[in-house]
Amino acid sequence: MTETPNNSELRRVDDVVWEIPMREGMRVPGRVYADDVLMESLQGDQSLDQVRNVAHLPGIQRYSLAMPDIHFGYGFPIGGVAAFAVDEGVVSPGGVGYDINCGVRLLATDLERSALEGSMKRMVDQLFRDVPSGVGAHGAIQTLSRREMAEVLEQGAGWAVRHGYGRPDDLERTEAHGALPGADPEAVSERAYARGDSQVGTLGSGNHFLEIQVVDQVFDPVAARAYGLFEGQVTVMIHCGSRGFGYQVCDDYLGIMSQAAQRYGIALPDRQLACAPVDSPEGRRYLAAMACAANYAWANRQMIMHLTEEALLRALSMAPRDLNLRLVYDVAHNIAKLEDHTVDGVVRRLCVHRKGATRAFGPGHPEVPEPYRAVGQPVLIPGDMGTASFVCRGSTRAMEQTFGSTCHGAGRVLSRAAALRRAKGRAIDRELAAGGITVRSQGRKTLAEEMPEAYKDVERVVAVMDRAGISPRVARLRPLGVVKG
């Protein structure tokens, strides 16, 4: 391994893998996936310090990992992955984040791009009317009772399907079948209930979006065929999470975990890494509450899919059989899950934290739906308004090197405040329209905060993981119409 010219501590392992060697307090090395350009942009960035800090936590296995979309976050970096042995490791809310199960759902149609000529504005306007979005948006269904909320928290997407918002086979094409086991509504605060009972079926704000897209390039015809994708096809992508409910769950448990870390004598290099042993009362209770938030997010995306179908049918005056809207897959980006992985030749039960990272299980894994099992799990990596999104696939290499994980998006390079300064005097909606993208938003501020140049080059990020063999590219999706909060 050779040193980089800019940071003598980082060691190059291969073309797109860098290692942060162990130093005092670290239990494992750090591993960063990046090409030369992305690594250069990280020089002096605090997110690399966060990779080092995570490596201090008890029970961590093999490496503290960073994907190429890494940027500074709360405790763990966004784009961070870490796995902890259940019998000796910890669980940390900072390793999941505030927007628990922020994730992506990809929908396919039978339509080709040419069929939408002259219809895009009408479609986007209808979606904007029918899918509630923005800060504090209320859902398209009435406020849920305490009993109904508890059912959502336990059943996840299955609750929505059982109430007529989708089809049973949607659950087969959702990570964890749309519901983590072990969810306990009693582990959730009254404040979280109050924040969540009227937001099921809402898009939210920030980087969340509802996007009409076209498949403009296929890289892997075999995998694309298995996923039901073809060039020129119209698709829809939903990017959102657990709304105020998930935020409150995280907030509630950070204080609990801070006290727990002291009680169990866990030395923390950063108090934002507050944690507790996985198998402790505090650890089990956090996982039970986090599962509730994850299930809420899956129910939310399932509801939005139903609202999207109704809106498109209305806008296009089309019969359901002609649109044939169907779920390709749904993946979580912020979650901690109990999974079995091989470590040093031994299968171990691990608590895998993915914060701004996507599960990428490889071919043959039993948790990959049968139609996709031969090629690997679909991996969904969203762009942002003016940039492409990607469908990739999980791989055997991901199972061997990253606990079945990969990147989740582009990763911010500008804070929201910096993006607002950069956008001053500009009309982002008109700039996007000039590029052939129709956009609707609750306000100009969101468009400015989320403009494409606020993010890294998603093409470069995805190419790194393709070159590493972790999540090979399958197809690129170009945006046509976008709804933002």
Strands 389-393, 378-381: pairing is antiparallel
In angstroms, the CA 483 to CA 129 distance is: 10
Region at 324 (left for phi over 0; alpha for psi -120 to 50; beta for the rest)? left
Residue 43 token pair: 């020089």
In angstroms, the CA 400 to CA 62 distance is: 11
Q: How far is CA 36 from CA 18, 47, 392, 437, in A?
A: 10, 17, 22, 31
Q: Which of 56, 208, 333, 408 is catalytic?
A: 408
User: Is 408 an active-site residue?
Assistant: yes
Longest dimension (CA), the chain: 65
Q: Alpha helices, DSSP H only, in 205-280? A: 221-227, 243-263
Residue 328 token pair: 């390709």
The CA-based angle 435-445-459, given to 5 degrees, is: 45
Question: Around Cβ 119, how many Cβ atoms within 10 Å?
Answer: 17
Backbone angles phi, psi at 304, to 5 degrees: -65, -35
Q: CA nearest 169: which of 370, 399, 349, 410?
A: 370
- CA torsion 397→348→296→131, rounded to 10°? 0
> Is the C-alpha dihedral spanning 289, 294, 297, 303 positive or negative?
negative
In angstroms, the CA 13 to CA 205 distance is: 39
Give the residue numbers marked as catalytic. 408
